[in-house]
Structure 1
Amino acid sequence: MWKMALRRRSRPVASLGMVDYQVLQDDPHRRVVRIGDTVRRPVHPWSASVHELLRYLREIGFLYAPRLLGIDDEGREVLSYIGGESGGRAWAKVAENEGLVAMARLLRGYHEAVRGFSPVAEAGWAARTGAVNTGELVCHGDFGPWNLVWRGYRPVGILDWDYAWPARPIHDVAYALEYVAPFRDDGTCLRWLGYSAPPDRRRRLEVFAEAYGLSSTVGLVDEVVAQQRAVWQRARLLAAQGRQPQVAWRESGVLDAAAERIRWSRANRHLFE
């Protein structure tokens, strides 16, 4: 959530005997490494639910999620590695219509794939307990361009399922639109998000919505603001529970910055409607 920096901050591959080792992310509270063709990541109290989701996607032949390979002797989840570009390099992919459309279609494909999933794990989800309600499915919950693996302008994988949770499908659409419309000021778009000129936000929202399969964009700005608030509230709840990195976000002002972005979205809705 709220990523501007690399989510896959890679260091050079080092040889450990016959095994390649690479640090993909070296955050203080979340070290992610690649060992050969596997990725090792820390688990959360709700990871059993996420693992059930990944197994389901594997069973039905959804090819864009990593395969869950087990838990290693350090207690980390072991996932299959998906080669390509992600993290900070992904922003430029969705600045062009080709990548924007491909991202929307992949999201629709995931939602169609997951409609038959009825989780039974009792671990719950990040800041969410209880069953999947009528009208909901298990959303990815963090569907931004940095969490996709790209080969050219084609997304070939979806990363970081930690914040999957039951919600209406429009939640994932609105989450993606916050970042790809984007609901950011011109300076941020030009400095950080790969745009050579201020984006036509209304048109980009329409292109994404059409590619996903929506028949109308009416109400989408309200949905974006609603998901911004839901994600912000989830982060605050996880921080209150002592979870990382949300505690660090609270202490460093990241949560305050997120609240300010919600205010920006409300004040600038005319750019999207």
Structure 2
Amino acid sequence: MPWTLHTDTPGALISHGNIAPWHVVFDQNRPTGLIGWEYTGPVDPLDEVAVTAFYCVQLFDDDVAEEIGLPPAATRAEWFKAFLDGYGLPRRQRTDLIDRILHFLIKDNGWYSRVQGFTQHNTHTEGLWTLAWQSRAALWTLEHRELLTCTAAR
């Protein structure tokens, strides 16, 4: 299936392409596998790290964060750093991760809009929340770019 992260650039690897908490299988609180392989394909490894960090750290808008009980931005910035540290990503490869996240969110919203067939003449609203929360997450990430980038670089 075509997917926003797929690329034909040199260095692309065949990977899951959509690693997020809702695709991780746990056994006794330990991750043991992944489900949802429909987007498997060639991806840039750094793009996948960036997007996986976005989903796992939950860089979502403040009202969504409050609704699901997430901590403030500074704490999530520390989680972002911890994710990258745990992944073993060198500091020199962290400088453009926020740009990669933003690029994904913009591209994914456009792709999703096309797949859903949204036009100015549509009256159905199913799927609009996906566009709304991702757009708001992109804005939140842009507004917190400096905090996230500086924290990740420490």
Q: Residue 175 of structure 1 contacts residue 227 of structure 1 at CA under 8 Å; is this kept in 2?
A: yes
Q: Which residue of 1 aligns with 2:152?
A: none
Aligned-partner Cα distance in 1 for 2:138–2:131? 11
Superposition misfits of 4+ residues, deviation over 6 angstroms: none
Indicate the residue corresponding to 2:99 in structure 1: 222
TM-score (norm: length of structure 1): 0.44
Name the one with the larger strand percent.
Answer: 1
**Alpha carbons of structure 1 residues 255 and 162: separation in structure 2 relative to 1, 3 Å:** same
**Contact kept in structure 2, 1:143 and 1:176, CA below 8 Å:** yes
Q: How many pairs were matched up?
A: 140
1:266 to 142, 147, 154: 142
Is the helix fraction higher in 1 or 2?
2
Q: 1:232 to 1:139 in 2, by over 3 A?
A: farther
Q: Deviations over 1:120-159 (max 9, x none)?
A: xxxxx34788x84411112322211111011233101101
Q: Which residue of 1 aligns with 2:80?
A: 205
Task: Assess if the C-alpha contact under 8 Å between 1:126 and 1:162 holds in 2.
Answer: no
Q: For the structure 1 residues 168 and 128, does the alpha-carbon distance in structure 2 shift closer, same or farther, using more than 3 Å as the test?
A: closer
Give the distance between the partners of 1:127 and 1:214, measured in 2 at CA.
22
| CA distance in 1 between partners of 2:56 and 2:5 (Å) | 26
- CA contact under 8 A between 2:61 and 2:133: conserved in structure 1? no
Structure 1 residue aligned with 2:20: 144
1:234 aligns with 2:111: yes
Q: Are the structure 2 counterparts of residues 180 and 134 from structure 1 closer, same or farther at C-alpha, using a change threshold of 3 Å?
A: same
Map 1:151-230; keep pairs closer than 5 Å: 151-192=27-68, 195=70, 197-198=71-72, 200-216=75-91, 217-230=94-107
8 Å Cα contact 2:15-2:42 kept in structure 1: yes
Find the residue that maps to 1:166 and give its secondary structure. strand
Q: Deviations over 1:191-239 (max 9, x none)?
A: 31x54x4361222111111211211132221121122123223212322
Percent identity, please.
23
Superimposed CA distance per residue, residues 9-50 of structure 1 (whole angstroms, 9 cap, x where no aligned partner): xxxxxxxxxxxxxxxxxxxxxxxxxxxxxxxxxxxxx4xxxx
Amino acid at match of 2:82: V
Which structure 1 segments of 5+ residues have no match? 1-45, 47-124, 242-246
Could you tell me how far apart the structure 1 residues matched to 2:30 and 2:83 are?
Answer: 15
- Distance in 1 (alpha carbons) for counterparts of 2:137 and 2:5: 23
Q: Kindly name which structure, 1 or 2, has the bigger radius of gyration based on alpha carbons.
A: 1
Greater RCO between the two (CA within 8 Å, min separation 6)?
2
Q: Report the 3-state secondary structure (helix = DSSP H, G, I; strand = E; otherwise coil) of the residue aligned with 1:214.
A: coil
Q: Could you tell me the TM-score, scaled by structure 2's length?
A: 0.73
Paired amino acid for 1:215: P
Q: CA RMSD in A?
A: 2.8
State how far apart, in whole Å, the 2-side matches of 1:226 and 1:218 are: 14
* Rounded Cα–Cα distance in structure 2 between residues aligned with 1:174 and 1:201: 14
> What 5-or-longer segments of structure 2 have no aligned partner?
119-124, 150-154
